[in-house]
Chains A and B, each alone.
Chain A
Amino acid sequence: QQQVKQSPQSLIVQKGGISIINCAYENTAFDYFPWYQQFPGKGPALLIAIRPDVSEKKEGRFTISFNKSAKQFSLHIMDSQPGDSATYFCAASIGNAGNMLTFGGGTRLMVKP
């Protein structure tokens, strides 16, 4: 049973468009929600993260929206670029539990020029 469910599995967006990836979680003890970006042949790398005491966090073209009551959070990539083409993973962890991450299934994003 996956504790963090991610959708869609794949996404194709035109250059300049908005990419939206959604995640839902079940464990209400989760209190840290990072997004990782993975390029082919590489390990995942932290992109942006949010804590549940805020509803939105923005870093450049990347924004996390968080809805605690619905137990959902999403990643928005504004003005998507071909260089954003990668696999994106949402994740969740419990802050005082060893930093172990529970990952969603991943979304393969392709941004067409």
Chain B
Amino acid sequence: NAGVTQTPKFQVLKTGQSMTLQCAQDMNHNSMYWYRQDPGMGLRLIYYSASEGTTDKGEVPNGYNVSRLNKREFSLRLESAAPSQTSVYFCASTKSGTARAEAFFGQGTRLTVV
């Protein structure tokens, strides 16, 4: 009964390095999201995928790219990491076609860029 699984849980990057955060859900949800959490800012939407094959920008997309690999998996890529991207990243999913659907979150990836 995994729900939403994120890897890795922790990562330290040097400025300019690249990396991909992985997310997979086993609830047959069609919609998936990437948020970042910063102190006092709550969670802010980076990108989302309403359904397989589609992706759209959220509130803070600059410096990130996403790939909806299949229905289960939604990855977030940092091409050239910057210290401002130090944050905790959460992946979430919701049931497709249902307005006001409950969002299920992964346990997060704590990323530090030095």
| Chain A contacts to B: CB under 8 angstroms | 2, 4, 6, 9, 31-32, 34, 36, 41-46, 49, 51, 89, 91, 93, 95-96, 98-106
Whether A100 contacts B90 by the Cβ 8 Å rule is: no
Task: Summarize A's interface: helix, strand, loop or mixed.
Answer: loop
Interface-central residue, B42, B50, B101, by most chain A CB under 10 Å: B42
Question: A9 — nearest CB in chain B belongs to which residue?
Answer: B40
Per a CB cutoff under 8 Å, which of B90, B94, B99 touches A44? B90
Chain A-chain B contacts (Cβ-Cβ < 8 Å), number: 69
CA distance A53 to B42 in the complex (A): 26
Given the contacts A42-B107, A43-B90, A103 and B43 also touching, CB distance less than 8 Å: yes
Q: Mark B78-112, 1 if CB is under 8 A from A, else 0.
A: 00000000000010101000111111111110000
| B67 CB, min distance to chain A CBs, angstroms | 18
Per a CB cutoff under 8 Å, which of A31, A100, A104 touches B42? A104
| A102 CB, min distance to chain B CBs, angstroms | 8
> Which B residues touch A103, using CB under 8 A?
35, 42-44
B41 in contact (CB, < 8 A): yes
CA distance A7 to B30 in the complex (A): 33
Whether A32 contacts B99 by the Cβ 8 Å rule is: yes
Whether B40 contacts A51 by the Cβ 8 Å rule is: no
Given the contacts A43-B4, A43-B90, A43-B108, A99 and B43 also touching, CB distance less than 8 Å: no
Per a CB cutoff under 8 Å, which of A34, A45, A96, A100 touches B33? A100
